[in-house]
A and B are shown apart, each in its own frame.
Chain A
Amino acid sequence: MSESKQQSNGLIWAVVFIIGAIMLVWSMSTSRTGQVWVTAEQHAFVQNADGDWAKTDAASATSNDIAWTSYSSVPDNELTDEMISSGDAKMSWSRTIGLWLSAIFTLFILSFLVGDNPAYKFAEAMVVGTSAGYVMVIGLWDVFVPNLLGKLFPVMVQNWALPGMDASVGTQLLYIIPAILIVMLLMQLMPAGGWISRWPIAFFIGITAGYRMIGYVEADLVAQIKAAIIPLYETGADGTFAIWDTMNACILTIATLSAMVYFFFSIEHKGFVGKTARLGIWFLMITFGASFGYTVMGRIALLAQRLEFLFGDWLHLI
């Protein structure tokens, strides 16, 4: 890119940012732009004579009781001046900072549209790190703790994080096997002995093969064939011939069969079979076109949501 073009590009972006900053300042001075307000809810629990904990009025809670406060965000259109002046609603700094970060990250990602840049790379690195950590947290809390630790150390897990868990079954020693398989899987990170991870991988493959085979036969193969067997002569509620329904049923059947003929490669696609396969391709092309249209519309809907967030939730312009 020539130097003069770079300079003009820089000038354009500077103007865009200045206009944006002016709009932001104007919006902040006239409304609660970029602020998140919350309402508080008190929770208090008192121990009764049986040793059980029961909910009680937060105002009457003593230091021996358990009490905490939880907060819920108030949508801007529901926030009134009375709520603010009475102290029922208050501004949440953590959520306000979160809102600004969300907006900044959205802009960082969108900046890729004008080319790769450090802001985009920074946001990309963040999404990789946080997503990987998030997925791991879900796996550990939802599966590892209840299904493995809970089976090997039931009393400890019950006392620690899952009080509702049934610990009367006792330790299930059989669950040492998946624990050992996990250790074997992690051996892949070691410089030597990585081959041992083939054992858990083989377990994965075997289970997936067995599970998928039954699942696909039941949910896809049999169910789809069953759904494809439909009457080709349709009648309305009053028993008269329904031309449109009949035509649709015929097209549906012909299209399914012809598209399946296209996928059947044991016979050469010549003559009648060739013509049927060609008809099948046409129906497949319509399917791909429809899928494409739906995908694009889905992405555009997501984009509209992000713009709605920027101009609505953040800037309060819409």
Chain B
Amino acid sequence: MKRFVPLVIAIVAGFVLLIANFIPYAEGWGLTAQEWFNILAVGAMVLGGGNLIKLQLMKISSKKAGWGYAAVTVVCFFAAIFIGMGKFGVHPNELYPNYAWSGYYLEEGSGMWWIYQHMIVPLTSTMFAMLAFYVATAAFRAFRAKNTEATLLLVTAGIVLLGRTYAGVWLFEGWLPDWLLWLRFDNLTVWIMDVPNTAGTRAITIGIALGVVATSLRILLGVDRSYLGQD
């Protein structure tokens, strides 16, 4: 019961989607299965949220170091859900003005829009922006032209970095003859992206696709059962 039923569910669900691609009659099954998948994904989000809150509440109740921050997380979490689900500040859809709840929850000026615009956007984009410093300093410390491979990586990164800025043009302005203009970093960047980068990415993509197909087949044939756990 603990292992056999989930195994059958995984195999049947996977084959239904496979069959749906080859038999027109079964096309609807695939669409239904995908819709169920999306519904379950929301369930997984709720599970993730529940888990987050459970851990934060445990931290607060045991007064662990930093429990105040856990309280901030819990308050923000419930405030976002309350404001978003309650559609605070949302006007009705203009097509159905007599339905108070028909408006879009992210409408400009609504509560959820305010949270997204003034909290989520600045916080997340600044966090990602800060990575620029850390990636750059880590690269400065780690990048050493020790061998051919490392040199190629270093030189390409340098060309692309400069080629994507005005420096790529400015460095060669005035002294480079016309017939050597292709050496300008902005032109070299375009060539690197179009030719060697395309080839490398293509090889990696084909490798990943083959890996995914092999792993999927192992699951569908019941060879890979690691998702069932130990007991």
Contacts and interface: CB of A to CB of B under 8 A. Distances in A.
Interface in B91-124: 91-99, 101-102, 105, 107-109, 112, 114-124
Contacts, number: 425
Interface residues of A, number: 126
Given A220-B206, A299-B128, A126 B160 contact: no
B45 A139 contact: yes
Interface in A98-142: 98-99, 101-103, 105-106, 109-110, 112-113, 121-137, 139-141
A4 B80 CA distance: 44
A153 interface: no
Contacts of B171: none
B141 interface: no
A182 B93 CA distance: 30
Given A126-B123, A290-B193, A297-B160, A136 B199 contact: no
Contacts of B196: 251, 255, 283, 286-287, 290
B40 A289 contact: no
Nearest to B156: A289
Given A140-B85, A255-B199, A185 B96 contact: no
Interface string B142-167: 00000011101111111111011100
B102 A305 contact: no
B194 A221 contact: no
B183 interface: no
A236 interface: no
Interface string A205-220: 1111111111011001
B181 interface: no
B175 interface: no
Which among B73, B124, B155, B193 has the highest number of chain A CB atoms within 10 Å? B73
B139 interface: yes
| Interface SS of chain A | helix
B40 A256 contact: no
B6 A201 contact: yes
Contacts of B48: 132
Contacts of A26: none
B72 A129 contact: yes
Interface in B167-219: 189, 191-210, 212-213, 215-217, 219
A72 B107 CA distance: 11
Contact of A102 (B38, B118, B195, B198): B118
B156 A94 contact: no
Contact of A259 (B98, B108, B199, B231): B199
Interface string A251-265: 111011001101100
Nearest to B8: A202
A306 B122 CA distance: 8
Contacts of A283: 196, 199-200, 203
Nearest to B210: A221
Which among A68, A122, A211 has the highest number of chain B CB atoms within 10 Å? A211
A301 B94 CA distance: 38
Interface stretch (A14-22, A74-82, A158-166): A158-166
Nearest to A222: B209
A288 interface: yes
A203 B13 contact: yes
B152 to A, nearest CB: 4
Contacts of A168: none
Contacts of A297: 160-161, 164-165
A295 to B, nearest CB: 7
Nearest to B124: A127
Given A133-B81, A141-B84, A303-B130, 17 more contacts: A102-B117, A105-B126, A109-B122, A109-B127, A123-B123, A130-B115, A132-B52, A133-B79, A133-B84, A178-B36, A185-B47, A199-B5, A202-B227, A217-B213, A227-B202, A255-B199, A284-B203
Interface of B: 2-3, 5-7, 9-18, 21, 32-52, 54, 66, 69-70, 72-81, 84-85, 91-99, 101-102, 105, 107-109, 112, 114-133, 135-136, 139, 148-150, 152-161, 163-165, 189, 191-210, 212-213, 215-217, 219-220, 227-229, 231
21 contacts: A53-B96, A98-B118, A102-B119, A105-B119, A130-B79, A134-B84, A189-B50, A201-B227, A206-B219, A210-B216, A213-B217, A217-B213, A220-B208, A221-B210, A221-B213, A227-B202, A260-B206, A287-B196, A289-B155, A289-B157, A306-B126
A-B pairs, top 10 by smallest CB distance, nearest first, are: A133-B80, A287-B200, A129-B76, A293-B160, A289-B156, A210-B17, A137-B84, A206-B13, A255-B199, A259-B203
